[in-house]
Amino acid sequence: MNLRKSNFKRVLFFTILMVLFNSAVYYFFGLQDKAYADAPKISKESVDFLTKTGQAMAEISNAVKPTIVNISTTKTEKIAENPFAPFFDDPFFRRFFGDRFKHPEVPRERKTASLGSGVIVSSNGYILTNSHVIKDAEEIKVLLSDKREFQGKIIGTDPKTDIAVIKVDARNLPIIMWGDSDILKVGEVVLAIGSPFGLDQTVTMGIVSAVGRANVGIADYEDFIQTDAAINPGNSGGALVNARGELVGINTAIFSGTGGYQGIGFAIPSNMAKAVMDSLIKTGKVIRGWLGVSIQPLTPELAKQFNLEKEYGGALVGDVIENSPAEKAGIIRGDVIIEYNGKKVNEPYNLRNTVANTPPGEIAELKVIRIGKIETIKVTIGELPTEVPKAPVIEYKNVLRGVTVRDFTPDLYRQMNISEKIKGVIIAEISPDSPAEGKLMEDDIIQEINRKAVANLKDYESIASEIKPDEIVLLLVFRKGSSVFITISP
């Protein structure tokens, strides 16, 4: 009887326990179901949109990645020797101390390696990259996306744009499609593909932050695309592509205070890169067009002085080189170039880059504003010489030797805040060994030499050339708001 009661109690206990457990489970999951029911819903439209966007990015990446290569280079660098080497090797020192303090042998040269990226532009092995990626390289290794490795050969480099072309001995390679960088808009989605820190086939996404960036200090010819797509060391020479998977830029640099990504990267526009590449492949060098003018921005103050309206923009001609295409066509100092072959000139760098990309011998049509009137001038573009002619520097054999002067311009009058009634030439530089050093200063305005008026550079050269080597010279100089007489002795 007691056994039956004991079994009954056990069964009852476990029954109650199971009931309580089931109730707890039901209560817990009921709360969970309620929490799930109250959670914000993601609409099917949103999921579909993001899924399609992600799918599109994946398709672009998969299409472009095979055309991107990793470039590794090695070069020999000379390093400084131990500055104490002569002391330790001195016989007198070694006589007393022997070799106990002998300095360790320091190699005079060492091998260094660097990494970058490149873009395959032809099926027979031509690869576009940055000039700085392969600078001074003794060996270039190119790693393809399929893990094949080739030796790279330099076809040509152009440090002025930071573009280089190398070639590998391969056939039937995948190639990238070219895009038109001139129609690229701020806000467009772009992908940057390369090998940051040696991590092959890395894809980052961003937008075009700006176009036409110049005066960055990276290259001589600048017209950069700015992007916030993450670009890091090793991305140099990689591709910047648009939503169609077309090459719109060659990644070249970052703006950073730490050496890493900070949201500002620069790429060379594909149109500029292609023009340079074609020239390097055909001739081994870059042949650029040349106009032969010195130009400067047209500021609001200058526009007012020249009676120009704001909307014109343009590049102000400050000087015309003798016997240049510009001089032969009749362009003169003070002209404002507002159009080049139908394309508006907003800034001087626009004109400079456009002229450089014009084949020598081609006739270009310019629109200029001259004394308030728009004129059309046709000019035959020349080839940019290796050394661009400059105004001859006359070295006098008298007390004015080492003094470099230049003519006044309306902009200089404005910058120095002086009246245009003040005539003369302004001192640009004084060499340390000049007799005038310590007597004259930069930005001094020479108004007279030996009581003869100096109105311009031509007057200065005429009078200065007549001064004898041992002659003491009396100058009238305008300095800091007043004119002073200064004598200079041999």
Q: Where are the alpha helices (DSSP H) in 68-108?
A: 85-88, 91-97
From the list 200, 21, 231, the residue with the least C-alpha distance to 115 is 200
Beta bridge mates, 320 = 293
130: nearest Cα among 163, 165, 157, 156: 163
Q: How far is CA 286 from CA 2, 164, 218, in A?
A: 109, 11, 18
Residue pair 117/195 in contact by the 8 Å Cβ criterion: yes
CA 135 to chain centre: 16
Q: Which two tokens stand for residue 91?
A: 């016989």
Place of tokens 């081994």: 284
Return the number of other C-beta atoms located less than 10 Å from residue 379's C-beta.
Answer: 23
**Is 132 an annotated catalytic residue?**
yes
Cα separation, 323 vs 329, whole angstroms: 10
Return the ∠ at Cα 278 (arms to 120 and 167), rounded to 5°. Answer: 40
- Please, which residues bridge with residue 192 across strands? 204, 240
C-alpha–C-alpha distance, residues 191 and 282, integer Å: 30
Q: Is residue 181 flagged as an active site residue?
A: no
Burial of 384 (0-12, 13-18, 19+ CB in 10 A): middle
The catalytic position among 114, 209, 236, 434 is 236
**Residue 196 corresponds to which tokens in the numbers above?**
């940051």
Task: Give 306's contacts (C-beta < 8 A, 6+ positions apart).
Answer: 298, 316, 334, 336, 369, 372, 410
Q: Please state the φ and ψ torsions of residue 50, each to the nearest 5 degrees.
A: -65, -35
Identify the active-site residue in 158, 162, 200, 459. Answer: 162
DSSP state, residue 351 = H
Of the residues 114, 117, 131, 132, only one is catalytic, namely: 132
Distance CA 421, CA 467 (A): 27
Catalytic positions are 132, 162, 236
